[in-house]
Amino acid sequence: MVQDITSWSEMKQVVRELKKPEVKDRFKTIVVDTLDVCGNLCEKYICNQLGIETLGEGGWSNNGWSRYKKEIEETFRTITQLNYALVFISHSKDKAFKRQDGTEYNQIIPTAQSSINEIAKNMVDLYGYATITTDGKRKIIFRSNDGSADVKSRFKYMPAEIPLDYNALVAALNEAIDKEAKEHDNRYVTDERSTFAEAITYDYDALMAEFQELTGSLMNKNPAYYGPRITSIIDKYLGKGKKVSDTTID
């Protein structure tokens, strides 16, 4: 079920659709193909918002890089908090690196920009490199003993490599989880699905109006009783002598 995305605004619209109960009942996994294009679209979106040509204009704290990072992280985090499995796909390239002693080495890394790749890499449980062996077999590598590929797994007993096949992945992952569970007497293993509370957004003006209505009602009933108690709560959360009317939307 492919949804073509040609702009980051379309991506945001898709995320809104993913929140609908009828969509959540129909889909379980979201695949971002490719992560490279995803990063490019978000970069263009932020630059257009700020009226700049590149994200680097103005330094990190006063330009698009921080906005870009926040936009990417919040978008992907929202998808996972909605209980979708999230898969990222990128192409690969062989890049030369230099060690501190001056010697060089090569490593296979994603072609996606490092900025978005690091975000995705930190989110995922499995970060693998899919390749074809000399005899034509497809496999995916999750642990590179010689460091020739940038890969990782959060599971201690995940094999270094497995056939590039869904059933093989499920079997290997279940076995890795079972092996690690035995080390902890199965205390941290459950078949129940984890659920996350969706981030709640608040209407500042509506909250201020609600607060004024509530406190006004209490003060009309008994100002001698409620006045000190309201002040005590405000002092506790905002600081002594502060007023709710002085707060800002931030």
Residue 11, in any domain of the structure: yes
Residue 68, in any domain of the structure: yes
Question: Domain tally for the chain?
Answer: 2
- The domain boundary residue, chosen from 91, 126, 146: 91
Residue 112, in any domain of the structure: no
- The domain boundary residue, chosen from 63, 91, 119: 91
Residue 84, in any domain of the structure: yes
Residue 165, in any domain of the structure: no
What digits encode the pLDDT tens for the residues 18-65?
Answer: 999 999 999 999 999 999 999 999 999 988 888 888 887 755 555 788
What digits encode the pLDDT tens for the residues 106-138?
Answer: 999 999 998 899 999 999 999 999 999 889 999
Residue 117, in any domain of the structure: no
pTM comes to: 0.70
Output the 3-class SS for 62-84: CCHHHHHHHHHHHHHHHHHHCCC
Domain residue limits at 213: 204-246
Cα-based angle 23, 24, 28 (whole degrees, multiple of 5): 115
Positive/negative CA dihedral, 125, 6, 114, 164: positive
- The domain boundary residue, chosen from 40, 71, 91: 91
Burial class (CB in 10 A: 0-12, 13-18, 19+), 116: buried
Residue 78, in any domain of the structure: yes
